[in-house]
Amino acid sequence: MHKISLHPQGPQLSRIIVGAWRWTNESAPQIEQLIQTSLDKGITAFDHADIYGNYSCEENFGNVLRSNPSLRNNLQLITKFGIKLVSEKRPEHKIKHYDTSASHIKWSVENSLKSLATDRIDLLLIHRPDPLLNPEEVAEAFSALKQQGKVLHFGVSNFTQAQFEMLQSYMPFPLVTNQIELSLFRNEPLFNGDTDVMMKHHIRPLAWSPLGGGKFFEDERIKELMNRLCVKYGISAMQLLLAWLLKHPSGVLPILGTTKPERILEGADSVNIDLDRQHWFELLRAVNGRDVA
C-alpha cells in the first residue's frame, strides 16, 4: 500500500489506518496478529487514545511492541489526549472533563510513551475541543515536546473549522490533521467546509467510523444499491464504503475499527478501487434521500 503525506512537511502514513478503540477484549496474541496482518498488507499507521479500553488499549498494544521491539521502526503511532474519564484507574477524576493544560499534556505524553513502549509518538492529537484550551500554553507545550523528539507531529480531532484555525494561528509549525467522523453516512463535513478548510491548509482528514461504526450494512436505504455496485465492481460492501471515502480530493485516510484480521485484509484492498463519479453520487443520494440541488 502506498503512503501519503498528511502535510508537505509530513508525516507519511499508510493510506489506510487501523484503530485500536475496539480492541478491548483481544488477547496479546490476537493483538499481535492484528498488527502483523496490517503490516503485511502495508498498513503501518495505528490510531490510539490514552482513554481507549478504559486506559488499557495503549498498554496492550505496547506489550506486543515490548516483546517484538523490531516492530516499532516499521509502524507509526498516533495517539490522543485531553479527555479525562471517571475511572477506577484515575480516582482523582470526579467528573468526565477535558484537560489541555501544559502539565496534563506533558504528563499524558509521558504516560503514552511508557504504555506504548516507545520513545516517540509520530502524531499526537487533541481528542476533543476543550472550551478551556489556552492556545499559547498548548503551542508552548507542543513546541517543547517536538524539540525533545518525544512527539514528531501534532494535530486535533473533532475540531470545528474556527477551533482549528484559532489554534493553528498560535502554532509555530503546522497542525497536520483534524481527525473527524466522516463516512457516507456522516457526509456533512464534505459540504459544511470542514474538508475544504483542511485542503486550504494542505492537510488531510483522518476519518473515524469510516463504515459508520458497522451499523449500516443492512440499511434498507442503500442495501440494494450497495449489492448492485458490489457485483458490478467485484468488491465487498466494506470496500465500496471505503472507496467512496477515498475518492474525495482531500485525500481522506480512513481508520478501520475492525477487530478481525480478515477485515483488515479486505479493507486494505479498497485503495485500488476507482469508483465512478455517478456511482459516488448515487450512493450519496440513497443515504441523503435526495438528489443534489
List active site positions. 52
Stretch that binds ligand NAP, among 3-11, 101-109, 111-119, 258-266 (CB under 6 A): 258-266
Among positions 211, 243, 252, 268, the unique one binding ligand NAP when judged by CB under 6 A: 211
Among positions 10, 42, 135, 213, the unique one binding ligand NAP when judged by CB under 6 A: 213
Among positions 5, 10, 21, 273, the unique one binding ligand NAP when judged by CB under 6 A: 21
Query: For residues 261 and 177, what is the distance between their CA atoms, to the nearest angstrom?
Result: 27
Provide the phi-psi class of 253: left if phi over 0, else alpha when psi is between -120 and 50, else beta.
Answer: beta
Minimum CB distance to ligand NAP smaller for 21 or for 144: 21
Query: For residues 112 and 7, what is the distance between their CA atoms, to the nearest angstrom?
Result: 24
Query: For residues 122 and 209, what is the distance between their CA atoms, to the nearest angstrom?
Result: 21
Query: For residues 42 and 199, what is the distance between their CA atoms, to the nearest angstrom?
Result: 25
- By CB under 6 A, tell whether 69 contacts ligand NAP: no
- By CB under 6 A, tell whether 16 contacts ligand NAP: no
Q: Is 162 helix (H, G, I), strand (E, B) or coil?
A: helix
Q: Shortest distance, CB of residue 57 to ligand NAP, whole angstroms?
A: 9
Please name the residue ranges forming H helices in the chain.
28-40, 52-55, 57-67, 102-115, 135-147, 161-170, 194-200, 223-233, 237-246, 261-268, 277-288
Binding positions for ligand NAP, 77-96, rule CB under 6 A: none
Binding positions for ligand NAP, 223-252, rule CB under 6 A: 237-238
Count of residues in contact with ligand NAP, rule CB under 6 A: 25
- By CB under 6 A, tell whether 203 contacts ligand NAP: no
Query: For residues 267 and 242, what is the distance between their CA atoms, to the nearest angstrom?
Result: 7
- By CB under 6 A, tell whether 212 contacts ligand NAP: yes
Minimum CB distance to ligand NAP smaller for 83 or for 144: 83
In contact, 129 and 160? CB cutoff 8 Å: yes
Chain residues that interact with ligand NAP, rule: CB under 6 A:
19-22, 47, 157-158, 179, 208-214, 217, 237-238, 255-260, 263
